Amino acid sequence: MKPLFLLDPEITYLNHGSFGACPEPIFADYQYWQRELEKEPVQFITKRLPQLMQQSRQALADYICCDADDVYFVPNPTTAINTIMRNLDLSPGDEILSTDNEYGAMDRTWNFYCRKSGAKYVRQPISMPVISKEKLIEEFWKGYNSNTKVVFLNQISSATALIFPVKEICDRAQQLGLITIVDGAHVPGHIELDINALDPDFYTGTLHKWMLAPKGSSFLYVKKEFQDRIDPLIVSWGYDSESPGKSRFIDYHEFQGTRDMSAFLTTPAVVRFLEEHNWTDKSMSSKSLILQNYKRFCDLLKTTPLCPVSSEFLGQMCSVPVNTQKPIELKELLYSKYKIEVPITKLNGRFFLRISCQSYNSQQDIDTLEKAIIDILNTTDLIQ
């Protein structure tokens, strides 16, 4: 599959997780929309765009299983979580229950909110290695008390690359009357996503990571009962619209003045591409590579997996704990000397070599990484 992507063939690319990668046919569709816009900006933006955006929202909604009027496009999950944050009305002492495995930008967003509101952001510690789903859930709920008003968690963590049991946690949160906010940045196109079945109050995900869309395409889903309470992050023509669409929620949030919507308009082409290339099967092959190689890398680095090596916790990524005092130098060396793009992630003072597998990767890429690590172990003091 690698020739289908725009990636540099000289680089062993094992970091799909950070920013995704876009195949040529989808990128061509992206450029097609940009050219359509430039051909006749007035006609395109004022006449064609509303209908085209509706089609894109529908294609997305069908893919993630929700109503097309309950979801709108945003550039990234940070924008989505900031929109929710700006609309929460917590009192001093109220608590947002989360985990100590969340994405840094989201931790910062909640810290900001709590400084302003007097609410408390609870990063509930999750023991590593994770032993079982039940144990993880039990640990999570130890952070609950009568002040807890909101549950916020990622479905697949960034630094540790673990799948979290969000369904079980959302179900219990609902029984307790809590607001549920899920950061599913890594989920669409990676593991199954059925928003209707999961039934969160808010859910954000990206299309530009595992769905292969061009950069800057993500979404925010908001359950109907919350939609009237959510002000737009940016107020523009869609507010008190002179030509209202059928959903006020979409009008309020989608229109933000002059902007290039081309990345969003690729959604029908994105979904078609995934179907035409049997992406579920391709994803399964990448997941098998992760399951086959995780323990092997942990053994090489004399560390242990962060979870049972199974599809319950692992998708197309795994994070191998690495003992290093020099994570930046290690990452730089892997790139400059061995031409391998792979991140060293950091969480709670620990470092991880996070390996991503996408359809353009093969066992050969993973073997290239293994050889480089062996060489680094033999020739440097970067890894203890």
Residues of this chain that interact with ligand PLP (CB under 6 A) are 18, 76-78, 103, 105, 154, 158, 183, 185-186
Nearer to ligand PLP, 35 or 259 (CB): 259
Nearer to ligand PLP, 57 or 190 (CB): 190
Q: What is the dihedral of CA 109, 331, 366, 347, to 10 degrees?
A: -30
CA 202-188-23 angle, 5° bins: 140
Nearer to ligand PLP, 202 or 338 (CB): 202
Nearer to ligand PLP, 219 or 338 (CB): 219
For the CB of residue 156, give the shortest distance to ligand PLP in the complex, in Å: 7
Residues 156/163, Cβ–Cβ less than 8 Å: yes
Sequence-separated (6 or more) residues with CB below 8 Å from residue 382: 324, 326, 329, 330, 333, 376
For the CB of residue 152, give the shortest distance to ligand PLP in the complex, in Å: 11
**102-131 in b/e burial notation, b at 16+ Cβ within 10 A?**
bbeebeebbeebbeebebbbbbbebebebe
Element (H, E) at 319: strand 317-321
First-last CA distance in the chain: 36
Euclidean distance between CA atoms 360 and 105, whole angstroms: 29
| 8-state DSSP, 106 | H
For the CB of residue 60, give the shortest distance to ligand PLP in the complex, in Å: 17
> What angle do helix axes 279-300 and 267-276 make, rounded to 10 degrees?
80
Nearer to ligand PLP, 37 or 60 (CB): 60
For the CB of residue 159, give the shortest distance to ligand PLP in the complex, in Å: 8
Q: What is the dihedral of CA 51, 56, 60, 63, to 10 degrees?
A: 100
Nearer to ligand PLP, 295 or 350 (CB): 350
For the CB of residue 327, give the shortest distance to ligand PLP in the complex, in Å: 17
For the CB of residue 383, give the shortest distance to ligand PLP in the complex, in Å: 24
Euclidean distance between CA atoms 148 and 138, whole angstroms: 16
Nearer to ligand PLP, 215 or 295 (CB): 215
Token pair belonging to 204: 């954000």
For the CB of residue 105, give the shortest distance to ligand PLP in the complex, in Å: 5
